[in-house]
Structure 1
């Protein structure tokens, strides 16, 4: 007897790896596969190689779906789809930029697929199955080398008119701040991403330290690391407090490597309360539960 619920195939396309997952109609995993993302920086073949690799992985996963059963397909990418042109924009994997990635795959597969920003996929997964399960309006944040965000409302991604809802990482909070790759100055990403904090530390001290190393230096009492880390916490509070004042989500969930810094959930939350436009802010700021599985699980849930 066939189930009324479909199987779900998710693809998480990142800068270093591509991962697929196949979920059964009850949401259980039937298998995952991970492979390196083809790279040819500044070369003419990178896009074609990525497209072909993703297509091959999808076909292989579809081969595991029982005959006659429906299966949706969703793909998370490190960028967004331009609502007017259908082409990839603002992608960290630069070989995708300017290409009709979704259309090309749909043509090859002969069927529709869903495609969303990877931060949206992370947010949806944590809202449906992870740390933010049970909350209606969830803002998800990926803090890593860069900074991304997504909005889930009642278990569905809110994409917005231009498909950029949640792109909080490129909200300019400091007109005198560092130049961001997007062209503006002082974006949230330049302030609280791992890459942004490390670059700021280098410009002030001449030392090349990662945020992880800066954090450890702070814990050990190093004066330069202490100053940098306290600035990071202050920036975190200002950026997230302002967001909460505008969106007033039921919960915020943090993911990415930077989200593993324990002080964010204590000292960082104190700073958020300082900057939010409410004297007793109650918004839960949650650590992810699904780890690096969130992206691919979320991709499976967006599928069509």
Structure 2
């Protein structure tokens, strides 16, 4: 399951990673209805396949490793709720939860754009910004379950408008999410140019030669490059994989390495920055990978 802000997607994978069944429904936007929607998707999948599935869920935010209570989710109605245990009660089986960026990183490290390397950083730049780290094929959650959460660090090496940072929903100000998420891109464009456009509309205008939109995309690319340079300096991964809506902007990839190289504390930084192989399906595939890849008595299929 990929629990998104606007939709909930379910895939059922066989142990080799082939998709046996998929569906998505709108996220109903309230906690009880969301739990029920997941139950309905699981029921539909198992009826279609005639098999009982293991359940992995990629979520915005993450459960506390000490209490199991959700925190740090920009789908704020999840925060403070025992999402995992409520799903286990509704589905009558164990459920594994992980942050959606962790799921992206796990998917891409397993059989995606970063397969076969030792260290992978996954960054979602969509409605929000989240990061996850995989080392030698295993997720690194950290002592408090927040490893890789770059979205709520400030934009590094601030300049210009960044010196007067906007508030973030988390209670701080100037977080990366307020600048390099899709919403942050649109917010910054409105603040700078007084126009209300979505991120895809700004990108389209830039491609059509609009000067304000071209400058906004240049500024966005520079900010994202500085964020990734911070990742390089802190974690130095082999590959950084981008997911979420902004990862589909092809103009980013030729420009980002030089920006990272300029800010990285190295004379030879040559890491790779790539889009997710599995696109917006990477999170749901990574959620399935929270269970073993090979069939066991417990594992008939991963969904």
Q: Same fold (TM over 0.5)?
A: yes
Could you tell me which runs of 5 or more consecutive residues in structure 2 were left unpaired when the two chains were aligned. Answer: 293-303
Which sits farther off after the overlay, 108-117 or 242-251?
108-117
Number of equivalenced pairs: 286
* Aligned CA-pair RMSD: 2.0
Residue 133 of structure 1 aligns to a residue in which SS? coil
CA distance in 2, matches of 1:221, 1:66: 53
- The partner residue of 2:71 within 89, 104, 114 is 89
Unaligned runs of 5+ in 1: 1-10, 40-45
Q: Secondary structure at the residue paired with 2:122?
A: strand
* Change in CA separation of 1:273 and 1:59 when aligned onto 2, cut-off 3 Å: same
The match for 1:196 among 175, 180, 184 is: 184
Cα distance in 2 for residues equivalent to 1:220 and 1:279: 37
Report deviation, 1:65. 5.8
Give the secondary-structure state (helix, strand or coil) at the position aligned to 1:127.
helix
- Measure, in 1, the Cα distance between the counterparts of 2:90 and 2:137: 30
Task: Name the stretch that deviates more: 103-112 or 213-222.
Answer: 213-222
Pair 1:48-2:36 in alignment? no
Q: 2:14 aligns with which of 6, 24, 30?
A: 24
Distance 1:88 1:270, change over 3 A: same
Higher relative contact order (CA 8 A, sep 6+): 2
**Alpha-carbon distance, 1:113 to partner:** 1.4
Cα offsets for 1:96-128 (capped at 9, x unmatched): 221111011212333221101111111111111
Where does residue 58 of structure 2 map in the other structure? 76
Structure 1 counterpart SS, 2:54: strand
In structure 2, relative to structure 1, the CA distance for the partners of 1:236 and 1:25 (3 Å cut) is closer
Q: Is contact 1:75-1:303 (8 Å) kept?
A: no
Q: Report the 3-state secondary structure (helix = DSSP H, G, I; strand = E; otherwise coil) of the residue aligned with 2:251.
A: helix
CA distance in 1, matches of 2:272, 2:194: 37
Matched, 1:154 2:146: no
How far apart are 1:140 and its partner, in Å? 0.5
Correspondence 1:241 to 2:196: no
Describe the shift of the 1:211–1:61 C-alpha distance in structure 2 as closer, same or farther (beyond 3 A).
closer
CA contact (8 A) 1:176 1:185 kept: no
Shift of 1:259: 1.0
Cα distance between partner residues in 2 of 1:186 and 1:33: 36
Any residues of structure 2 matched to 1:105-120 within 5 Å, and which? 105-120=87-102
1:15 is matched with 5
Q: TM-score, normalised by structure 2?
A: 0.87
Superposition deviation, residue 61 in structure 1: 2.7
Deviations 1:40-59 (A, max 9, x none): xxxxxx21111112123223
Q: CA deviation at 1:224?
A: 2.4
Bigger Cα displacement from structure 2, 202-211 vs 292-301: 202-211
